[in-house]
Amino acid sequence: MSLFSSEMEITIPFFDVDPMNIVWHGNYIKYLEQARCDMFTKLNYTYIDMSKDFYAYPIAKMNTKYIKPISFNDVIIIKSELLTIEPALNIKYTMYNKKDNEKIFTAETMQIAVDIRTKESIYNAPDKLKKILENINEKQIL
């Protein structure tokens, strides 16, 4: 069960494809970052907000599965699901090709919180993020 989920669309730009018109594998990671930023924007707790609370969330672990290629001008939908916030952010991603709703890629990331001032790991989520998620869950129950 996810704490929060969101979806976003990306149209594949020409500069992300190789000479065979296929998206280079490293660009999928860029799309994950876009989806993650979009999800936190929709949560109203962005990376800028985290930074103001002295939190940074570097990637500690990433698992990816490439299923089908994507090409220039394809429109993809990325579903991001926030699974846990403590002791780390765990996020699951699923990419679909919009034209046929076919799954093309899955991934999971784990991000460990770091105190920006001390560079030490933190195993508690920011209070503001916890409160936002509590409010969302309360609204869903009502």
Tell whether the model's pLDDT for residue 139 goes beyond 80: no
pLDDT score for 133:
95
pLDDT score for 86:
96
The residue-averaged pLDDT of 35-57 equals 96
Tell whether the model's pLDDT for residue 115 goes beyond 70: yes
Q: What pTM does this model have?
A: 0.93
Domain with 57, as residue range(s), is: 4-141
Residue 47 corresponds to which tokens in the numbers above?
């990376």
pLDDT score for 101:
96
The one-letter amino acid at 27: N
pLDDT score for 137:
75
Q: Calculate the average pLDDT of the chain.
A: 95
**113 has which bridge partners?**
122
Domain count, the chain: 1
pLDDT score for 140:
63
pLDDT 10s digits, 59-96:
999 999 999 999 999 999 999 999 999 999 999 999 99
Residues sharing a CB contact under 8 Å with residue 17, sequence separation 6 or more, in sequence order: 23, 24, 71, 72
pLDDT score for 142:
46
The residue-averaged pLDDT of 21-33 equals 97
pLDDT score for 136:
87
Q: Are 18 and 24 in contact (CB under 8 A)?
A: yes
Question: What CA–CA distances, in Å, run from 134 to 36, 39, 85, 128, 131?
Answer: 20, 16, 12, 10, 5
CATH number (domain holding residue 44): 3.10.129.10
Q: Whole-angstrom Cα distance, residue 66 to residue 19?
A: 19
Q: Give alpha helix (H) positions in the chain.
A: 26-43, 47-52, 127-141
**22 has which bridge partners?**
71
**Whole-angstrom distance between the N-terminal and C-terminal Cα of the chain?**
18
pLDDT score for 1:
83
From its phi and psi, is residue 48 left (phi > 0), alpha (psi between -120 and 50) or beta? alpha
